[in-house]
Amino acid sequence: MNAAVSALRSQFPLLAAAPGLHYLDSAATAQIHGAALDAVIRHETTCRANVMRGTYALAEAADRAFDAARHSVARFLNAGSAEEIVFTAGATAALNLVAQAFGNTLKAGDRVLISVAEHHSNFVPWQMLRERTGIELALIPVGADGVLDLGRLPELMGSRCRLVAVTQCSNVTGAWSDVAAIVAAARQAGARVLLDGAQAVQHGPQDVRALGVDFYAFSGHKCFGPGGVGVLWGRAQVLAALPPFLGGGGMIGEVTFDNTTWAAPPQRFEAGTPPIAQAIGLAAALDWMMTLDWPQIHAREQRLGELLIEGLQRIPQLRLLGPATADSRAPIVSFDIEGLHPHDICQVLDGRNLALRGGHHCAQPLLAALGVEACTRASIALYNDETDIQALLDGLVEVQRTLT
């Protein structure tokens, strides 16, 4: 194994304990880094208390740690301020928050533009909003390679588009969206932009100000942090104009029988007890990520993607989904083998200590557009190396021998 990768793997408790595991399912859940796990344990064993308004030392320590976590996320995203960071239960919750809060500012006839390539969490909430309020929902199509086809973008937006909600990177094909072109068209139409960054964050820090979007959502469990926590970043002035999503403790200014006023963002959108320990663990993961040499990691991930794509293209009856080259996608590679079900493929590979995911990947509209019902997906992260790729290619030889 590559020495640099071996050193990285040793920092992930599960991978350190399972040296023979070829984990290629990081697009679903990345492994938790030791610093994130240590931060969760440290919080739960030294300053477990609820945040906001506690007047004893333990609660004040929890407040400081939670506030520091918000600042860490802001640094990772290059946000304008920590007050632009809203903690949620995950990317799905963050996307639903926008669909509810921003959706409550829309009326019948207003248009939301999404794409065929969206994860269901950035597809279904907008369908639900359409049913509830009568908004129009329009779709950006994809080409045969799964890349968003932006040729009709101005037409699809029309004159009533209020929001464009798209993925930064497909969880099936790995195809990157042309965010700059989408943002430019949205600004021309006077629309806001929501970016689903769930598949991008594990590949390095993001710069929401450079991206030019208005909202950015991601999950902690996809960027080496704990599960049960996510982030919605929103421009300060945009968040300030939105009504709350959930009602309860922590999100109010004052409550009387006749009226309730709202707290300022981000508290306005964090009703109830937030995911305190999870947010602290996420911050530790992001702080660690910001110490890494990302150009070097990107080069290695792309090289592994190239090796995998080249190997898959030599396998009979196998169809590669998405862009044909690794430099056009994140290191997420899905494929279909004629006559074989992805679940059967994954079960055979599991017998060789290979962890991949098979199914529709919560992206049924995209798979329908690509002409398949399900596919097998391998996703590469910074703790993978050439041995994982070769193990998969060797495993697929056994798959065909066993299942055909």
Domain limits, CATH 3.40.640.10, in the chain: 37-289
pLDDT at 305 over 90: yes
Q: 324: number of CA atoms within 13 Å, CB side?
A: 3
User: For residue 191, what pLDDT is reported?
Assistant: 98
What average pLDDT does the segment 385-389 reach? Answer: 97
Cβ neighbours of residue 381 closer than 8 Å, sequence gap 6 or more: 23, 26, 30, 31, 202, 301, 331
Work out the pLDDT band at 404, boundaries 50, 70, 90. confident
pLDDT value at 97 more than 80: yes
What does the pLDDT look like over 315-339, one tens digit per residue?
A: 999 999 999 999 999 999 999 999 9
What would the pLDDT profile of 143-185 be if each residue is shown by its tens digit? 999 999 999 999 999 999 999 999 999 999 999 999 999 999 9
Instruction: Report the pLDDT value the prediction gives residue 4, as an integer from 0 to 100.
Output: 83
- Distances in Å between the alpha carbon of 225 and those of 16, 18, 24, 122, 282? 16, 19, 17, 22, 5
Question: Per-residue pLDDT averaged across 290-316, rounded?
Answer: 97
pLDDT at 2: 79
Residue owning tokens 């950035």: 122
| Mean per-residue pLDDT, 84-107 | 98
Q: Are strands 357-359 and 375-379 parallel, antiparallel or unpaired?
A: antiparallel
Q: How many angstroms separate the CA atoms of 211 and 242, rounded?
A: 22
- Give the per-residue pLDDT at 53: 81
For 42, the token pair is 């440290």
Region 343-358 average pLDDT: 98
> Which carries the bigger pLDDT value, residue 1 or residue 245?
245
Q: What tens digit of pLDDT does each residue of 223-248 get?
A: 999 999 999 999 999 999 999 999 99
Lowest mean pLDDT among 46-60, 64-78, 354-368: 46-60
In the CATH scheme, what architecture does the domain 3-24+293-403 have?
Alpha-Beta Complex (3.90)
Kindly report, residue by residue over 117-135, the tens digit of the pLDDT: 999 999 999 999 999 999 9
Confidence of residue 10 (pLDDT cuts 50, 70, 90): very high
Picking from 277, 169, 267, 187, the residue whose alpha carbon sits closest to that of residue 227 is 277
Give me the pLDDT at residue 87, please.
98
Note if 362 is an active site residue. yes
Of the candidates 223, 346, 362, 375, the residue annotated as catalytic is: 362
From-to residues of CATH 3.90.1150.10 in the chain: 3-24+293-403
Q: pLDDT tens digits for 184-201? A: 999 999 999 999 999 999
3-state secondary structure at position 67:
helix
Instruction: Report the CATH architecture of 37-289.
Output: 3-Layer(aba) Sandwich (3.40)
For 248, half-sphere exposure in the C-beta direction (CA atoms, 13 angstrom radius) is 8
360 vs 288: CA distance, rounded Å: 32
The mean pLDDT of the chain is 97
